[in-house]
Structure 1
Amino acid sequence: MERGFAVRQPWLPYVAPMATFLILTSLEGWLPRSEGGPHPHWYPLFYTLKAAIVAAVAWACRSAWRDLVPRPRPMGWALAVALGLGVTALWVGLDGLYPQFGASGTRAAFDPGVLPMPTRALFLAVRFFGLVVLVPLIEELFWRSFAMRWIIDPDFLRVPIGRVTPAAAVLTAALFALEHPEEWLPALLTGLAWAGLLRQSRSVSACIVSHAAANLALGLYVLATGAWRFW
């Protein structure tokens, strides 16, 4: 995939990791449940398997990682982190203040406190790897590097990274919101914010760092408060 088919299909290294992640996430709803929640044996095993598979696909598709250059300047890193923390505040602050449409999403609100040690610590390590490293990498390469440019021009490699049009910003933000149906409003606003960061920084790496900061802060908030619906 790295040098063969991906050369003929340049979209593949961006789409394959994201598609793998979404397909496996959709399967979580089919796992056995316990007392109305994710099963404490099956869910940690499945999530670990999902993270391993997605990481393997992302590595096989690492030709897309060339888009991580250029990287932002020091102030750009600071702006990315600050924006990420603002995104976390937005998701938490807007919780329960906007309507829900249709069926809820498939995210598993799993409390790792039901797991014994050291299984709990191992699961949390894997969970935070997925939350802070894997998801920001594959989502930002898909949304801000591939989709943003593809909407501007289907021959997306001709479009420089960091070029953002109003239509591309709004459409990618709307699709990002569809990916997060339970938090569609903060997801929509987040998509617009990261489109703005991409335009300002001309750096996908800045968006990845901002996404990682947001997810890390949200993960720590979840552990501190037990708000597992964000998990």
Structure 2
Amino acid sequence: MTTPPLISRYPALPWVGPFALFMLWLALAPSLGIPQPWESVFRVGVLTAVLLTLSRDIVFSLRVRHAAASIGLGLAVCALWVLPDQLMPGWRDHWLFQNQITGKVTNSIPVAELSDPLVMTLRVLRAAILVPIIEELFWRGWLPRWLVNNNWQQVPLGTFNVVAFVATAVLFASEHGPFWEVGLACGLIYNWWMWKTRSLGDLVLVHAVTNAALSGFVLLTGQYAYWM
């Protein structure tokens, strides 16, 4: 299959582009003023379209090599996310987690959306399917290799040096605001699993299981702050 000219010129685009669009949407969504459920429909539609066009070859080449272990690890990481706050009430109120840099823990979902089955379904699908693919393309597929060598296409998947391993985890943690400490632990675990398996498909699976289990926890307990 012939590589499109845009991707030939910018080979990092399939790895970085969906994540850049995802983050841009998060930043701009509040000011766009698109009513629900159309905002959710449009967001899922655009992100899916980008993955199936810009990143199609990578997405369709993903293979899972260690399904059982990846599923188990994903469930363990989900437990890691929620246990500090469940075992130690008030843990998240400490200034280390809520401050001017990390932000505040808030329920980011308007009450009206909670009663809309379509919006909630799309949110779960986004968290459990789209986000794992988009984030893993960037965080474990491209960034560590680029940090190892600017000529990143020559660096095999799952290759890390100390700087790439630590920096990727720290930056991943910064994406999660007041939950940065569990985000850091999650980033380190995901990096380790990528190094061990050399399989981006397994990283997408473990991330998907984590997010799907966390979504289930949120829906069962009503602790919507975990849906950032």
- TM-score bucket of the superposed structures, by smaller chain: 0.7 to 0.9
Identify the residue that residue 155 of structure 1 maps to in structure 2: 151
* Uncovered stretches (5+) of structure 2, i.e. residues with no partner: 86-90
Secondary structure (helix, strand or coil) at the match of 2:160 reads coil
Give CA-to-partner distance per residue, 1:111-149, whole Å, 9 cap, x none. 667555xxx222222112101110000100111010111
Identify the residue that residue 44 of structure 2 maps to in structure 1: 51
TM score, norm. by length of structure 1: 0.84
Paired residues, what number? Answer: 216
Secondary structure (helix, strand or coil) at the match of 2:158 reads coil
Secondary structure (helix, strand or coil) at the match of 1:109 reads coil
Identify the residue that residue 139 of structure 2 maps to in structure 1: 143
Distance 1:6 1:162 in 2: 22
Match of 2:59, as an amino acid? W
Secondary structure (helix, strand or coil) at the match of 1:55 reads helix
Contact 2:36 2:119 in 1 (8 A): no
Distance 1:127 1:66 in 2: 23
Contact 2:127 2:212 in 1 (8 A): yes
Q: 2:62 aligned with 1:68, yes or no?
A: yes
Match of 1:209, as an amino acid? L
Match of 2:42, as an amino acid? L
Identify the residue that residue 205 of structure 1 maps to in structure 2: 201
Q: Give the superposition deviation at 1:167.
A: 1.5
Q: Give the superposition deviation at 1:31.
A: 6.0
Match of 1:92 among 54, 57, 82: 82
Distance 1:185 1:10 in 2: 33
Contact 2:141 2:157 in 1 (8 A): yes
Contact 1:169 1:191 in 2 (8 A): no
* Cα distance change of structure 1 residues 114 and 178 upon mapping to structure 2, 3 Å threshold: closer
Q: Give the superposition deviation at 1:106.
A: 9.6
Q: 2:15 aligned with 1:14, yes or no?
A: yes
Secondary structure (helix, strand or coil) at the match of 1:94 reads helix
RMSD across aligned positions (CA): 2.4
* Uncovered stretches (5+) of structure 1, i.e. residues with no partner: 33-40
Identify the residue that residue 25 of structure 1 maps to in structure 2: 26
Give CA-to-partner distance per residue, 1:49-75, whole Å, 9 cap, x none. 112111111112123336624x31xxx
Distance 1:4 1:222 in 2: 43
Give CA-to-partner distance per residue, 1:50-102, whole Å, 9 cap, x none. 12111111112123336624x31xxx211111111111111111233562232
* Cα distance change of structure 1 residues 23 and 107 upon mapping to structure 2, 3 Å threshold: farther
Match of 2:130, as an amino acid? L
Contact 2:172 2:183 in 1 (8 A): yes
Percent identity for Structure 1 against Structure 2: 32
* Cα distance change of structure 1 residues 152 and 115 upon mapping to structure 2, 3 Å threshold: closer
Contact 1:162 1:201 in 2 (8 A): yes
Secondary structure (helix, strand or coil) at the match of 2:150 reads coil
> 212-221 vs 47-56, which deviates more?
47-56
* Cα distance change of structure 1 residues 133 and 107 upon mapping to structure 2, 3 Å threshold: farther
Contact 1:161 1:202 in 2 (8 A): yes
* Cα distance change of structure 1 residues 164 and 107 upon mapping to structure 2, 3 Å threshold: farther
Identify the residue that residue 189 of structure 1 maps to in structure 2: 185
